[in-house]
Structures are given as C-alpha cells and as structure tokens.
Amino acid sequence: MVEAQVHPGGELAMTRGDIHFEVFVKKHRKASWSLAEALHDREAALDLARKLKDALPDGSVRVVREVWSASESAFRGGPIFEEGPERFVEDKGAAAEASLPCVTPSDFQGASARETIRRVLSGWLERRQICPLELLSRPDLIEDLDGSETDLQHAVQKVAIARAQSSGAPVQAFIKQLNALVERAASDARREAATARPLPKARDFAELTEKIMSEGGPERRMRRAIAERLGEAADLRAKTGLLLDLLDDLPAAPETKAFAMKQADAFLAELLTFDPALAAITGSGDDAGVVVERLTSLYEGRADHADLAGAPAPARRLANRFAAGDLPDSRGEIANRILDHLRSPKRLRPESVMAEIELSRRLAQRLIMVAGPDLHPTALVEAFTCRSARLLSPEAVDEALQGAPGAPELLERLFAMEDNIVGEANKKKLAAYVRARLKAPATESWFVRGPGQPLERLSRLTRLQARALKGAFPADDKAELAEAFDVLGLQTLDETKILSRIEASAQPALDRTAALLKLAASGVLPVGRCRQDAQARAMRLLASQMGRHESAQPDAGAKLSAIRNLLPPHQPGAAA
C-alpha cells in the first residue's frame, strides 16, 4: 500500500519540491474513484495511468497535478490526463469519507510512505541522525518516537490536514485513523522487540548476509541488520561512509550479493535525501554550481571526471558503482537532487550571470545525454526552463550587461543569453529585452552617429539582425526584431545620406547601380526596407536616360553582367 505525498510547505526544514502527481483509478462504472499512487515524476505518473488503463479495459484513469500553496496552506491543481468512459467528479455535497492509503503498520515500509515519514518527521529524524528505514527497522527507535508525543502528534496533524484538504473529509477523522494506526505500529514494535530472534553472529557483513540468507533471507531481518550496523555510526555523514564500506563487503554468491545490495541501496538512497549525508559524498564547493557539476559526474558514473577531483573519496567510489549499473535507488536519488538544484531559486554562479548561463548550457548538454527514467527529458526541460526564467529577471539581465563597452556589445550579450535559455516564454521575454535595447537612445545614437565609418556600423547592425533571425525566438518575435533592426538601419541611412550620395555622385550610372546593389547584396544593409531602398535606387538609375544610354554601349557587357549577378532572384534583368 502506498501513501500519498504530503507537502507541508514551509514547516519542514527539508522539502523536496512542492509538486506531485496523483493517479486516480475507477475500475468500472459502479466502482468509486480511488487514489492509486502519488508520484513526484510526471512521466512516471502518466505511465502508471496508462498501465492501469490497459489492465482495466472498462475502467477509467485520471492524473492530477497538485501544487502546494504555502500562502493558502492547501493544494491547488488540475487534471493533466484522463482516459476511459468515466470522468472524475468530486462530490461537493456531503463530506467525503476519510480513507488512508496505509491501513496496516506494514504499509509504512513502502517507499512512498517512507517519503511521507521523512517529510513530516524531518526535525525528529535530523536530531536523531537517522533515516526512515532505520526508524522502521529498529523497535527501540519506534519506542523512542512513540514517547516523543509532541513530534509524533505534530506529524499526525500534518498528514491529516493535507489528506483532508485533498479529499474533503474531516481532519479529525484522519487524526483518529492515524493515531490508531500509529498505536498499532508501536504495539507491533514492542512485540517484535520481545520475540525477535537475535541476529546471527558473524565476522563481517558478507558472512552476516550469508547467514541471514540461509534462514530464508527475510527482508525485515536484513534491514534490521543494516540498521543496527548504522546505529554504530555517530551521524548521517558517518552512516553514509559505513554503507559504502558494507557495499565493499558483499558475499560472492550472485543471489546473496544482489539481496544484500538491494537492501543497502534502499538505506543509502534514503540517507542521500538528507543534506549532511549528501555532503559526505559531494563535499563543499565555492558555489552551488560546483556541487551540481559533481552530482552530474556522479550520476554519469564518471569517477575520473575532473569535477570529482576535488570531491571526497566516497564520490568516486559511488560513481564506480553507478558505472557498473549498481544501486539504482541511490542513483535515482542523485537525479532528484540534480533536479532540486536546477529548480532552486539559488544561483549556481553568484559571481557572474554569464558564467551561470554558460554552466547551465554545459549541464544541459551533459544531462540530456544520460536522460532516462530517473532524469526524464520532460523533467529536465521543465527544470532548465525554470532556471532560465530566473536568469531573465531585470536584476540578472542588468548584471549581465554591466561593463559592456557599447550598444553592440550589449546586444551581443543578450544574444549570447539566448543560446543558453530554454522555454518559449523565456525566449519571448528575452526578445522583449532586445527590442527595448534597440529603442534606447544610447543604442540609436551609437548606430546613427557613433564612432567609425557609417558602413561599418551598418554592417554590425546587419550581423546582429542576422543573429536574431538565426535564433530560436518565436516567429512573431523574430519578425518584430528584424523590423526593429531595419528601422534603426533606415535611421542611420537617413542621417548619413549614404545611398543619396552614391545615387547623386558623378560616377557613371552603371557604376552607381552596381555600387548600390553591392550594398544590398553584401550584407552591409539590414534585411527589409534598407535593402529594398538601395535596390529601388539602383533600378531607377538603370532605367534612367543615362543608364539606358550606357547600357547600349558596345563595352557595357561586363558591367551589365555584374549587375545581373547582383540582382535578387525576383528582380527583372537589366536591359541589354
């Protein structure tokens, strides 16, 4: 039996995100809707819903995305997937009946139930320096918790309030059920402590595992053995190192080795949900970006990567395990911590926005290569989209543009940001920043009356316009940016009179025609009315009396051929 995820908001010292996905199932028309599972991962929830629908041809399924609102102390969400003849309808009339996913103490052993325990008992667990699996595997710890009425009742109330808000049933009904369930669990723990056989004596962990396996290999005894070994360690950091040592002392027999490794993996994965235990693996760094890079190399299983050179030795030991395909639960937890960092509002490179953008680009390239069930591409895109949005705050953009020597450099930095941000909404926001800079008096002044030759400034403006058109901006934003660059180019042409001077010069008409067409064809002028104006002036010269006269001369062939080569495809050919 599984327990729905609970998000008590800011009350917990260690949160793992405020979004989860609830999968509901209705087996047939006469059945009622029931919660099948609550998961952090969107794709895992959708996959479960589809599997349930395949197994129940006459049934219906629904996936609901739930977001915890700390200000309202309630969940807010809506459906993201429905399939089947029945639609999920909440009865707003009578109060719903209180119903818990966990109905027996043994249900607490499930992974989702243990995650809920970690959430609601985080303070007590941190003070005792234990993880939920240790608590559930040692009757003495359960007895200690039962005696800590304040912590226990606070946890019961958190679960009851969250369940009541999502179901509509009274809070007191859930509190009553939870208290009864906790009391049964405490009674079972006391009975187990009084009747349980002592663990077999052994020289090392491998021998202990073999002896437990010879008894039939019960999972509870294996977990109890590991929990008692962890009890010898002083804190979460030491327990993490101890578990890695146990993993180096596994039996040789494949079946026995796999049995022990699976249980040790479950403990290690839970320990890694706590920051002190994770720090024993990753160590500290100059900033959060260093930690994320180490987590990425760890997840990739690259023990020899430069990122791990400055990390504690356990990082390389664990990376080698991941490279060998071992410890899937722990590797999945590392994936969760990577996503947590990416979704966090904390800057990865506080000293430089541009350095953070570059780091995000490198991480995205690496993580997409190892994407899979633990790091689904959709989750990665969502995480990097979230981080991109934070990097586009006005304060962050102003910081990124500080120190730019001129208007072109400001625009180039904005385009450098575009290469490394994710999400259409973020691209639109960045396009708005570019348009605003193009319309700024300082930008207009630089291109219209700035340093250097006018044609050099126009060429730079044209290159920036080409960069905008090449980027991944939405189509309407591309069109607006191209127009804005073209308008600025027209202002520059009008101020400098470049085209008028060429058109009115004393050069032969065919030479002036070629000069104007070269400006339009060589990338000096922005796309749009700037090039059209140059081409229109050229065609007027060609069609003028002087142009027709020069075209009729016997030696005009070479010039006319050059003009034809400069004409755009849709333009009619020059006169012979």
Q: Which residues contact 556 (CB under 8 A, 6 or more apart)?
A: 510, 550
110-114 contacts at long range (C-beta below 8 A, 24 or more positions apart):
110/1, 110/2, 110/3, 111/2, 112/2, 112/3, 112/4, 112/5, 112/37, 112/38, 112/39, 113/1, 113/2, 113/3, 114/270
Per-residue pLDDT of the chain (576 residues; tens, 9 = 90+): 333 333 333 333 334 445 778 888 888 877 778 777 777 778 888 888 899 888 888 889 988 887 755 555 455 667 888 888 876 554 444 455 666 666 677 778 888 888 888 888 888 999 999 999 999 999 999 888 888 878 888 888 888 887 777 777 787 887 888 888 788 888 888 888 788 788 889 999 999 999 999 887 688 899 999 999 999 999 999 999 999 999 999 999 999 999 999 999 999 999 999 999 999 999 988 899 999 999 999 999 999 999 999 999 999 999 999 999 999 999 999 999 999 999 988 999 998 888 998 999 899 999 999 998 889 999 999 999 989 998 899 999 999 999 999 999 999 999 999 988 888 999 999 999 999 999 999 999 999 999 999 999 999 999 999 999 999 999 999 999 999 999 999 999 999 999 999 999 999 999 999 999 999 998 899 999 999 999 999 999 999 999 999 999 999 999 999 999 998 776 544 443
Long-range own/partner contacts, residues 531-536 (CB < 8 A, 24 or more apart): 533/490, 533/493, 533/499, 534/499, 535/567, 535/568, 535/571
Residue 135 identity (one-letter amino acid)? L
As given in the structure block, the two tokens for residue 117 are: 């325990």
| Strand-pair category, 34-39 with 19-26 | antiparallel
Give the Cβ contact number of residue 465 at 10 Å: 26
Answer for the pair 365, 357: CB distance below 8 angstroms, yes or no: no
List, in order, residues 6 or more apart from 293 with CB less than 8 Å away: 307, 359, 363
Rg (CA), the chain: 34
CA distance 223 to 229: 10
Quickly list DSSP for 66-116.
EEEETTTTEEEEEEEEEESS-------SSPPPP--S--SGGGGGSHHHHHH
Spatial separation of the C-alpha atoms in residues 230 and 515, rounded to whole Å: 83
